[in-house]
Amino acid sequence: MTQPLLSVEHLAVHFAGRGRLFSPDPPPVKAVNDVSFTIDSQRTFGLVGESGSGKSTVARAILQLVDIHDGSIHLDGDDVTRVARSAELGFRKRVQAVLQDPFSSLNQVHTTETIIGDPITRHLAIKAGDERRERVADLLDLVGLGHEFLDRYPYEMSGGQRQRISIARALAVEPDLVIADEATSALDVSIQSQVINLLREIQRERDVAFLFIAHDLEVVSHMSHDVGVMYLGYLVERGPSDDVYAQPTHPYTEMLIASIPFPEPGEQAKRRGLRQTFKVAEPPSPANLPPGCPFENRCPVAMDICREEMPAVTQAHHGGEARCHLHTSGPELGGGSVVEFIRSEARGNVGV
């Protein structure tokens, strides 16, 4: 097997609490715990989770924007867990990002030419001038914007156009990996599909790998070859996107799928019963995680062991991994799908 482009092993990111000068520090927020996955070149790995799941922190850790508590990150076999300042430029050229909010990810005081041109000057040593302008124009072609956008400021553009500029900026230095962190979440439905299609097209043309992060499982599984599902800092399930979607091995994944609103009244009515088996409870605070599984208090099929012990990673039927006691204790599903089990259990509980 060839070496993966990016490999993340046992990644953990904790944020120290910040008390006042003369008060004790609050406990650290454990944003990411023991997360491992790989991305092969020219493939897309999707990371899905709700707010507070730590998915964006994973991106920020790879991008060297936050301190890593534990674990390691390798890019093409090189250790990039903590990139030295001298090597940072080289690293930045290989890993780029498109960030969430198209309104704040572009500096209002610069024109498109500067926004996209700055990294070109920095990495490819092409000074501002005709050559750089031409390159920027080519990139605008690539993301489907006209050359009249060269001299426009971000406030003169719509959300979708700004996000295209962000994509052009990420591609300007010809990276191997682009991290798209909620890159389509702030956009209107009709614009979202334009940007998703653009990203897929770029992957076909530019041979770039994506780490695609979003809270919408539908969007992620449409974009990605493989997906990981995060809950409260843990990667609870990982596998090929179609298999995870069809036969999930973690109750939380099943809950996510059941919660996706479908634009069809009949279908929605069917999913309602299943969704109601999940308990109403607040997820625990990442600063104060329980000893057991963090999903335990919302899980319809939680067992005693779930309260006491954090489940270990087990092999799942789809070739990926799951982190759930159901596979090793109780029903001992052994990595199989949890769909049938939850449905029969749920029927017993609430009589759907």
Footprint of another protein on residues 170-229 (CB under 8 A)?
Answer: 170, 173, 188-194, 196-197, 200-201, 215-219, 221-222
Q: How far is the CB of 263 from another protein (least distance, A)?
A: 4
Q: Enter the DSSP assignment of 180.
A: E
Looking at 84, 282, 291, 351, which residue binds another protein (CB under 8 A)? 282
Footprint of another protein on residues 107-166 (CB under 8 A)?
Answer: 107-109, 118-119, 122-123, 153, 155-156, 158, 160-161, 166
Footprint of another protein on residues 7-66 (CB under 8 A)?
Answer: 18-23, 50-51, 60, 63, 65
Residue closest to 60 by CA, chosen among 73, 42, 79:
73
Q: What is the DSSP string of 120-135?
A: HHHHH---TTHHHHHH
Token duo for residue 311: 């489940």
Footprint of another protein on residues 308-347 (CB under 8 A)?
Answer: none
Nearer to another protein, 74 or 110 (CB): 110
Number of residues that bind another protein (CB under 8 A): 88
Nearer to another protein, 96 or 112 (CB): 96
Q: Would you mind telling me the total number of residues written for the chain in this entry?
A: 352
Q: How far is the CB of 201 from another protein (least distance, A)?
A: 8
Footprint of another protein on residues 232-251 (CB under 8 A)?
Answer: 242, 245-246
> How many beta carbons lie within 10 A of that of residue 254, not counting itself?
25
Q: How far is the CB of 298 from another protein (least distance, A)?
A: 8
> How many beta carbons lie within 10 A of that of residue 160, not counting itself?
20
Angle of helix 159-171 versus helix 112-124 axis, rounded to 10:
10
Q: How far is the CB of 243 from another protein (least distance, A)?
A: 11
Tell me whether residue 14 is exposed, middle or buried, using C-beta atoms within 10 angstroms of its C-beta: 0 to 12, 13 to 18, 19 or more. buried
Q: How far is the CB of 229 from another protein (least distance, A)?
A: 12
Nearer to another protein, 173 or 312 (CB): 173
Contact criterion met (CB below 8 Å) for 113 and 150:
yes
Nearer to another protein, 97 or 333 (CB): 97
Q: Enter the DSSP assignment of 261.
A: P
- Is 271 a binding residue for another protein by CB under 8 A? The answer is yes
Looking at 67, 138, 207, 262, which residue binds another protein (CB under 8 A)? 262
* Amino acid at position 40, single letter: D
SS3 321: strand
Residue 217 CB partners (closer than 8 Å, separation 6+): 48, 227, 229, 245, 256, 257, 260
Q: Please identify, among the stretches 35-43, 70-78, 128-136, 254-262, the one whose residues bind another protein according to the rule CB under 8 A.
A: 254-262
